[in-house]
Structure 1
């Protein structure tokens, strides 16, 4: 009996070609190929799959865009993707910062042997501080959880 070896796509070393960006409105980010038009990822990094999707879904709309206009359109779509990703990073960073601050303040309260209900006093003081010093950062202080009750 012969052993049938399954084909593995990962081992085929499919490499992203920069010409695909101009032809099919795709870009590579990390190890993922992203379609700029519909903002979906491509599972198998082969030109046939990329071309088939582009021809079946987007060619009627984007084949008329040629030359420098096409390049400008691709660049603007890339910038939109980068802007979206940075927006998510900023939101995530502020949430992580609020969580870190709440843990550090809770640790400081615990080290002094005070009850965790003092966290509400600390939060009120922080809110007063931000109202006076930097009102634009008020939402960051509101996200900090210092209540002794579970939320």
Structure 2
């Protein structure tokens, strides 16, 4: 329906109402609420009812600077989620690789706990900032068994 009505986001709305478009959703930079309908009336109503008394006095370069800083905050918040998701994926991948090595050598699955302990000792000495990554790797005998079954 949005495409048939030619509802497109206008960049002037960012300057006027502190909103941006992200993944086909209009997002308020101030309160980070999404606005359901892509029409200027709805965006203006949101801004006027919730933010106009505080942000109407901000004009000119100050307003532009404020918008840019709010955009950067949104990007920073979203990058935190991406980093967390990437580290969880890395922990799972390491768990599979260690399970594969244990299975190939015919070692008992409980050796995974020994490997994890050794990794923790290593990170304590070499790179203490990465200790949380090692703690997220699951190498219990049950997990190793599931990983080997999956492979």
CA distance in 2, matches of 1:108, 1:11: 55
CA distance in 1, matches of 2:23, 2:62: 27
Deviation per CA, 1:66-95, whole angstroms, max 9, x where unpaired? 111111111110011011111111111111
Deviation per CA, 1:88-111, whole angstroms, max 9, x where unpaired? 111111111111111111122112
Gaps of 5+ in 1: 1-7
Other structure's SS at 2:118 match: helix
Whether 2:35 is the aligned partner of 1:42: answer: yes
Superposition deviation, residue 11 in structure 1: 2.5
Q: TM-score, normalised by structure 2?
A: 0.88
Other structure's SS at 1:39 match: coil
Which 10-residue stretch deviates more, 108-117 or 66-75? 108-117
How many residue pairs get aligned? The number is 143
Structure 1 stretches of 4+ with a deviation exceeding 4 A read none
Other structure's SS at 2:51 match: helix
CA distance in 1, matches of 2:13, 2:42: 11
CA distance in 1, matches of 2:80, 2:105: 38
Deviation per CA, 1:94-130, whole angstroms, max 9, x where unpaired? 1111111111111221122222101011111111111
The structure with the largest helix share of the pair is 2
CA distance in 2, matches of 1:56, 1:138: 47
Among candidates 133, 145, 148, match of residue 138 of structure 2: 145
Superposition deviation, residue 10 in structure 1: 4.5
